[in-house]
Amino acid sequence: MSTAVVEQKQTPEPRTITTELRFTDKLFRGIVTGGGLISLAILGLIGFFLIYNGFEAIRNAGLAFLTGFEWVDAVPENEQAAAYGIGAMLYGTIVTGILAMIMGVPIAVGTALFLSYYAPEWLKKPMVVVVDVMAAIPSIVYGLWGFFVLMPHAEYWAKLIHKYFSFIPFFDMPAPVYTRSPFIAGLVLAIMITPIVTAISREVFAQTPLERIQAAYALGATKWSMIKAVVFPYGRGGVVGGAMLGLGRALGETVAVYTVLNLVYDIRIEVLLSAGGNVASMIVNKFGEADFVELQALMAAGFVLFLVTLIVNFSANYIINKTARE
């Protein structure tokens, strides 16, 4: 007679769900947090260095440092006091940045759309490589190319714009001097920021949810209708962020602007006239021959440019967050 062995089934103990981080998680969090704090510390040290060395110039000039149009060294023999103002250069910085945005961002967004939804695979891959390589080209190369290649052709287009649109004050010309103008500088900067905005916009467009795209096609939308109804609303925050990043690059550009733009300490609304400048190129132009007092003024100018860049970046972050909530 066989003996039946009854096995009692034991109820498994419930697993305890814990949020305790493993060592690798703690290590990764520490590395990321440390990297962020180091970057913030470096940013703060740069700002402190600039304001520490340039505070005396700002205190002596007061508000005239931001609104003045003169950059004159002191001449003790003529009892002429130093006068340092970056108003004209600050205006030129904003003008060239806006021109770069107007000319570069539409081309960048159009290129990103073409690479994401229209380009065949055999053309898409080499174009993506070309765009990435263009973003890594040094600014001096853009400056030299703009001076020797772009400037002669851009002068023709500037004359054409003046001929047909001179009734607009921005395109009027008090003197027929078209080379080394804010228009040409903005065109060079537009070419420089186009790869950056294109790369960011393309990545954002590629993250558009596939189910939304398929739903638009299922409702009978064409490709362009789908882009307007789905891709643009989803990716506008990233496009704005990329555009603001490009604007930050344009505002702080030095060598390329210095190569194709005359430094004139005056505010002129005529963007085709050979007169202008920006803060960064002014600093480079004056730094080599500056005495101690002028060097303090240049540090103060660098601090103002530093603040402008921070404001642009914070504005981009605010716009992106506001767009994401809508």
HSE of 158 in the Cβ direction (CA atoms, 13 Å)?
A: 27
- Average pLDDT of the chain? 83
Residue 226: is its pLDDT beyond 80?
Answer: yes
d(CA 180, CA 53): 32
The enclosing H or E element of 84 equals strand 83-84
Q: What is the pLDDT of residues 8-45, one digit of tens each?
A: 556 667 766 666 777 787 888 889 999 989 989 998 99
Domain ranges of the chain: 88-282
- What class does CATH assign to 88-282? mainly alpha
HSE of 177 in the Cβ direction (CA atoms, 13 Å)?
A: 11
Q: Which of 239, 216, 237 is nearest to 227 (CA)?
A: 216
pTM for the whole thing? 0.82
Residue 1: is its pLDDT beyond 60?
Answer: no
Q: How many residues does the chain have?
A: 326
DSSP-based three-state secondary structure for 72: strand
